[in-house]
């Protein structure tokens, strides 16, 4: 045991936590690429709105973490017991760790407030774009104030391992405040403030999530009913109109036929009487042959032609009017479908811009609560060399995933972001060719 050095202890620790270091390195690469793309798309290509401003705020905070906190954590894990004598780098990592966590919590709460006002108070006061920019600036200031004690309380200190009697250098608490107890006070205060912000965010998103679920069910129901009603109106309306016109024309035709029969009977009766008078003056003939008048109820050929022509004209008019009525109803249905499609796209955009921060807030809340709980419960435990220190460190640093996951959420859920990125990549490959 006398030959054990600080380098040996550091090598043993890194053997247990190297996979956590590689995981953070992967997060650093993906976070850098993803957040640069997010900032470029939302700053120069995306349409101007409050959501765009807050996403840029999140992207800048994540980029700060990618440049400072994640590399600083990798250096800390690689040189756990032999930290290089660069105290400012250790303090910078501690400051930006708290700065990015609290800043992201405030930013997600601001997005929740903006979505709540747009969906629940559409005719009330709304956050304007200029006010959104001011809110982002205030978020940076508040996060800086909350993270200001970090560089004072955290830093480098020397520690003597009891089992090996070897003095090591750690990047944890500052040497001047090592046993002051102020770390617990600061961690508790920062945890309470962050927890209150997260509770407010969840309280704003719960009614929005319930409303979105109800609107989705109502939208499917209304769409099905509207399609059924429009088709039934189109069919019943045109058929009823055609039936009404046909009935009136049939009645007119029957009236014409009855008048024609009456006239024909009168004419035939006169002819019969004339024939009888002539038979009396002239030679007698068979009374039965003479007294049979022509009492046929069938109309003449000329009258039948007129009646058929009249019916054909009426039926043609019915077809023309019915076609016009059907065309008008079809046009109305098409217009309603166009308006419904436009409103559906608009409501889909609102749901998307609400669904994205809900997912981000849920992931951030779970990882932040885990981080603060482990930090408060196990911050004084330094005897992890022979324990499950890798698992503890992975759970503690799982909060860093919030700085990486945002671009992937936008890619899978935001259609405008997908279209802009797809078009940009296509133009790049076209220019290269």
> Which residues are CB-neighbours of 432 under 8 A, at least 6 positions away?
none
Q: How many CA atoms lie within 13 A of 58 on its CB side?
A: 32
CA torsion 424-425-431-433 (nearest 10°) is -160
pLDDT value at 138 more than 90: yes
Token pair in block for residue 76: 């800390």
Question: Is residue 85 very low, low, confident or very high in pLDDT (cuts 50, 70, 90)?
Answer: confident
Q: What sign has the CA pseudo-torsion 53, 56, 62, 65?
A: negative
Question: Is residue 379 very low, low, confident or very high in pLDDT (cuts 50, 70, 90)?
Answer: low
- Tell me how far apart the alpha carbons of residues 288 and 278 are, in angstroms, rounded to a whole number: 14
* Cα 243 versus chain centre, distance: 48
Question: Is residue 52 very low, low, confident or very high in pLDDT (cuts 50, 70, 90)?
Answer: very high
pLDDT value at 316 more than 80: no
Token pair in block for residue 356: 């994205």
pLDDT value at 248 more than 60: no
Question: Is residue 39 very low, low, confident or very high in pLDDT (cuts 50, 70, 90)?
Answer: very high
What pLDDT was estimated at residue 378?
65
What value does the mean pLDDT take over residues 46-73?
93
pLDDT value at 60 more than 70: yes
Q: How many Cβ atoms sit within 10 Å of the Cβ of residue 33?
A: 13
- β-bridge mates for residue 157, sequence order: 170
What pLDDT was estimated at residue 34?
93
H or E stretch including 221?
A: helix 182-281
Contact at 8 Å (CB) between 307 and 249? no
Is domain 6-226+353-432 in CATH 3.40.50.150, yes or no? no
What value does the mean pLDDT take over residues 379-385?
53
Angle at 256 between CA 254 and CA 260, to 5 degrees: 115
More confident site: 306 or 177: 177
What value does the mean pLDDT take over residues 121-126?
85
Token pair in block for residue 380: 């004084």
Contact at 8 Å (CB) between 201 and 110? no
Contact at 8 Å (CB) between 76 and 171? yes
pTM: 0.69
Contact at 8 Å (CB) between 38 and 66? no
pLDDT value at 320 more than 90: no
pLDDT value at 296 more than 50: no
Length reported for the chain: 433
Question: Which of 327-331, 346-350, 429-433 is predicted most confidently?
Answer: 429-433
More confident site: 325 or 48: 48
Contact at 8 Å (CB) between 149 and 173? no
Q: How far apart, in Å, are the Cα atoms of 350 and each of 118, 120, 215, 345, 412?
A: 9, 12, 11, 9, 16
pLDDT value at 181 more than 50: yes
The 10s digit of each residue's pLDDT in 86-120 is 889 999 999 999 999 999 999 999 999 999 998 88
- Tell me how far apart the alpha carbons of residues 426 and 291 are, in angstroms, rounded to a whole number: 101
- Tell me how far apart the alpha carbons of residues 172 and 155 are, in angstroms, rounded to a whole number: 6
- Tell me how far apart the alpha carbons of residues 58 and 420 are, in angstroms, rounded to a whole number: 19
Which DSSP category does 385 fall into? T
- Tell me how far apart the alpha carbons of residues 295 and 259 are, in angstroms, rounded to a whole number: 14
Contact at 8 Å (CB) between 159 and 167? yes
pLDDT value at 290 more than 80: no
Question: Is residue 274 very low, low, confident or very high in pLDDT (cuts 50, 70, 90)?
Answer: very low
- Tell me how far apart the alpha carbons of residues 266 and 415 are, in angstroms, rounded to a whole number: 84
Contact at 8 Å (CB) between 202 and 369? no
What value does the mean pLDDT take over residues 396-419?
89
How big, in percent rounded to 5, are the helix, strand and coil portions of the chain?
Answer: 80, 5, 15
Token pair in block for residue 302: 């000329």
Token pair in block for residue 37: 């793309």
Q: What is the DSSP string of 3-41?
A: T--HHHHHHHHHHHHHHHHHHHHHHHHHHHHHHHHHHHH
The domain segmentation of the chain, as residue ranges, is: 6-226+353-432, 228-338
- β-bridge mates for residue 170, sequence order: 157
More confident site: 377 or 347: 377
What pLDDT was estimated at residue 193?
94
What pLDDT was estimated at residue 35?
95
What value does the mean pLDDT take over residues 212-225?
54
What pLDDT was estimated at residue 283?
44
Contact at 8 Å (CB) between 142 and 135? no
Question: Is residue 323 very low, low, confident or very high in pLDDT (cuts 50, 70, 90)?
Answer: low
- Tell me how far apart the alpha carbons of residues 353 and 52 are, in angstroms, rounded to a whole number: 10
What pLDDT was estimated at residue 87?
87
Helical axes 87-120 vs 301-378, angle rounded to 10°: 150
pLDDT value at 149 more than 50: yes
- Tell me how far apart the alpha carbons of residues 202 and 209 are, in angstroms, rounded to a whole number: 10
């Amino acid at each position: 045991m006398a030959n054990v050095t600080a380098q040996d202890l550091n090598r043993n620790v890194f053997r247990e936590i190297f996979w956590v270091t590689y995981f953070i390195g992967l997060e650093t690469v993906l976070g850098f690429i993803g957040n640069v793309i997010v900032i470029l798309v939302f700053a120069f290509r995306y349409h101007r709105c409050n959501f765009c401003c807050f996403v840029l705020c999140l992207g800048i905070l994540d980029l700060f973490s990618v440049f400072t906190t994640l590399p600083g954590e990798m250096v800390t894990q690689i040189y756990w017991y032999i930290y290089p004598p660069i105290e400012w780098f250790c303090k910078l990592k501690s400051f930006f760790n708290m700065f990015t966590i609290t800043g992201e919590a405030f930013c997600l709460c601001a997005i929740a407030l903006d979505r709540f006002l747009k969906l629940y108070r559409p005719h009330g006061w709304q956050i304007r774009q200029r006010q959104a920019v001011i809110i982002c600036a205030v978020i940076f200031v508040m996060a800086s104030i909350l993270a200001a004690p970090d560089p004072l309380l955290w830093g480098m200190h020397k520690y003597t391992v009891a089992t090996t009697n070897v003095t090591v250098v750690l990047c944890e608490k500052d040497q001047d405040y090592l046993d002051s107890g102020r770390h617990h006070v600061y961690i508790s205060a920062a945890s309470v403030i962050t927890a209150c912000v997260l509770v407010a965010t969840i309280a704003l998103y719960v009614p929005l999530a319930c409303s979105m679920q109800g609107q989705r069910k109502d939208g499917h129901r209304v769409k099905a009913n509207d399609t059924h009603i429009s088709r039934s109106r189109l069919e019943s309306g045109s058929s009823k109109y055609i039936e009404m016109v046909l009935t009136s024309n049939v009645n007119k035709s029957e009236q014409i036929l009855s008048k024609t029969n009456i006239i024909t009977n009168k004419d035939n009766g006169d002819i019969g009487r004339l024939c009888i008078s002539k038979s009396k003056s002239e030679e007698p003939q068979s009374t039965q042959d003479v007294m049979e008048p022509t009492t046929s109820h069938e109309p003449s050929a000329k009258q039948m032609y007129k009646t058929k022509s009249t019916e054909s004209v009426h039926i043609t008019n019915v077809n023309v009017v019915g076609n016009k009525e059907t065309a008008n109803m079809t046009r109305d249905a098409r217009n309603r479908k166009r308006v419904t499609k436009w409103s559906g796209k608009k409501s889909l955009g609102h749901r998307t811009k609400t669904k994205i921060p809900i997912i981000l807030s849920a992931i951030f809340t779970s990882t932040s609560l885990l981080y603060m709980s482990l930090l408060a419960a196990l911050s004084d435990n330094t005897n992890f060399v022979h324990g499950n220190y890798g698992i503890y460190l992975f759970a503690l640093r799982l909060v860093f995933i919030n700085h990486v996951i945002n671009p992937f959420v936008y890619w899978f859920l935001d259609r405008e972001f997908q279209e802009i990125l797809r078009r940009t990549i296509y133009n790049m490959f076209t220019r290269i060719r």
